Structure 1
Amino acid sequence: MELVILLLIQLFREANFFLYCQSLAELIPYFFANNNVNYARWLPIYYRDMVTLEQKHPQLAQEFQSGNFVVHKSSRQFSAMAIDQAHEQANAVIKADGGAIGVTEDPSALRRWMIAGPEVSHLVAQYEAACGTKEGTEHTSHHEETERAQRVFFENEKSSHKP
Structure 2
Amino acid sequence: MATCVYDNAEMQMYRTIQSNVNQQTIIRHIQDVLSAISKYFSWQDSLTAVLELYTLAYETVMALWFKKFFQWCSGQQKIANIDEKFWQTMLSCHDAFSDLNTNVVDLSEFLILFREQFFSLISEFREFSYKASPTFKFWEMFLRAGEVMLLNVRAERDGDWNTHLQSVSSMLPYFFIANKTNYARWTTAYLIDMLNLPEETYSAFMSGKFAVRQKPGVFNGIWSDMATKKTIIKDSKGSGGIVGLTTQKSALLRWTFTRHILAKYALEMRKRSGIALGSEENHENNRPTAMKRDEQEVNDLIEHVQNNMTDPFDIEE
Specify which of 141, 161, 183 is matched with residue 17 of structure 1: 161
Q: Deviations over 1:109-154 (max 9, x none)?
A: 65455433344333322321233320014x54568989xx6xxx7x
Give the structure 1 partner of residue 203 of structure 2.
62
Give the structure 2 partner of residue 5 of structure 1.
149
Distance 1:115 1:36 in 2: 37
Moved more, 62-71 or 27-36: 27-36
Larger radius of gyration between Structure 1 and Structure 2 = 2
Distance 1:110 1:35 in 2: 41
Moved more, 105-114 or 33-42: 105-114
Distance 1:143 1:28 in 2: 30
Specify which of 45, 67, 73 is matched with residue 214 of structure 2: 73
Specify which of 76, 83, 97 is matched with residue 224 of structure 2: 83
Give the structure 2 partner of residue 131 of structure 1.
273
- Larger RCO, structure (CA 8 Å, separation 6 or more): 2
Moved more, 105-114 or 76-85: 105-114
Counterpart check, 1:39 vs 2:183: yes
Q: Secondary structure at the match of 2:164?
A: helix
Structure 2 portions without partners, runs of 5+: 1-144, 300-317
Q: Deviations over 1:5-43 (max 9, x none)?
A: 222211111111111111111111222222222221111
TM-score, structure 1 as length reference: 0.72
Distance 2:261 2:211 in 1: 18
Distance 2:170 2:284 in 1: 33
Counterpart residue type for residue 85 of structure 1: M
Counterpart residue type for residue 243 of structure 2: I
Distance 2:213 2:195 in 1: 23
Counterpart residue type for residue 76 of structure 1: G
C-alpha change, 1:52 and 1:116, in structure 2 (3 Å) is same
Counterpart residue type for residue 273 of structure 2: C
Distance 1:83 1:96 in 2: 20
Counterpart check, 1:30 vs 2:171: no
Distance 2:239 2:223 in 1: 24
CA contact (8 A) 1:95 1:101 kept: yes
C-alpha change, 1:140 and 1:24, in structure 2 (3 Å) is same
CA contact (8 A) 2:219 2:282 kept: no
Distance 1:66 1:112 in 2: 34
Counterpart check, 1:99 vs 2:241: yes
Q: Secondary structure at the match of 2:208?
A: coil
Number of residue pairs matched by the alignment: 147
Q: Deviations over 1:51-71 (max 9, x none)?
A: 222xxx111111111110111
RMSD of equivalent CA atoms: 3.0
Q: Secondary structure at the match of 1:81?
A: coil
C-alpha change, 1:107 and 1:78, in structure 2 (3 Å) is same
C-alpha change, 1:104 and 1:33, in structure 2 (3 Å) is farther
Distance 1:5 1:79 in 2: 16
Distance 1:104 1:116 in 2: 16
Give the structure 2 partner of residue 48 of structure 1.
192
Give the structure 2 partner of residue 115 of structure 1.
257
Structure 1 portions without partners, runs of 5+: none
